[in-house]
Structure 1
């Protein structure tokens, strides 16, 4: 179905998953606000990237009791966000590949989906590690959570870049089927 400007309409499943992902992302951003301190300028992301028990402990001290509660709320809310954003990205990949019949594009799309799935799995593992790193933080758990966070961010970045490349390689307007 074409919209008034001639672009393809988004499927309802894609719209719904993108909307729910946006709502949960906004909630996570709001929960992250009280977690931004001198030791954790990026809030929960600073805790994800701490890498050592000393850094994690400094962040936890800067949060005090209220901040630790918000950090746990953020991690539990993120467990809801993970399947939603992964599903939204998989729907988006499928939508952007609808008119891409080429074998190379299909292979790249499989890699993109794999990157998004790896990001989601790493995010879940990272949350489990972080929930186990509150009292007391350890070097092993801190480093493991950081590695999982790096895998997550890398998967999301590479998957997103793959989508941009596939769509930028187009030689004709988006066609819907």
Structure 2
């Protein structure tokens, strides 16, 4: 039998992954009442509204109880941003444990930076969208859309970086037993 075994994902990362998944499911549930003919994708349509006119039409389609769901979705988004950013940074650190090379460390710094940027732009975007709920404008709508695009791009590039870091391994993460 080989003297190496796969190194398990630490309990704190698994736990944080579970909590993050629960908040994601909560957000998906909060999005259901926001799906209207004007915003068939709910909050995603509001994120990508780009103009005050589009934002006004979406907000009007949520008038009444829908606005409460929208606020709850946006406020829970702050928690979600913190959770997913922290989870992805810890997971990046885990993948780099046995990668002492300079190139891997540089890639890891970039990947962690992308996840921090994603979390920060998510918070800024959701802050703008909260204001945009009360007084939609072209400036707020376009700014929120640009931040959403930066957020999604940073997440995609960061996840691609994780794939590269993982694929660059010649051996799986492991521990040596004496």
Which segments of structure 1 move beyond 4 Å, counting only runs of 4 or more?
none
Match in the other structure for 2:96: 97
Q: Tell me, which stretches of 5 or more residues in structure 1 are unaligned?
A: 1-5
Alpha carbons 1:129, 1:141 under 8 Å: kept: yes
In 2, distance between residues paired with 1:100 and 1:136? 50
In 2, distance between residues paired with 1:101 and 1:92? 16
User: Is 1:53 aligned to residue 52 of structure 2?
Assistant: yes
Alpha carbons 1:98, 1:176 under 8 Å: kept: no
Q: Tell me, which stretches of 5 or more residues in structure 2 are unaligned?
A: none
When the two structures are superposed, what TM-score results if normalisation uses the length of structure 1? Answer: 0.93
Match in the other structure for 2:134: 135
Moved more, 165-174 or 16-25: 165-174
Match in the other structure for 1:106: 105
In 2, distance between residues paired with 1:53 and 1:135? 11
Note the alpha carbon deviations across 1:118-176, whole angstroms, 9 max, x for none: 00000000111001012320000000111111111011110001001111122222224
Match in the other structure for 1:36: 35
Report 1 or 2 for greater relative contact order, CA contacts < 8 Å, sequence distance ≥ 6: 2
In 2, distance between residues paired with 1:157 and 1:23? 21
When the two structures are superposed, what TM-score results if normalisation uses the length of structure 2? Answer: 0.93
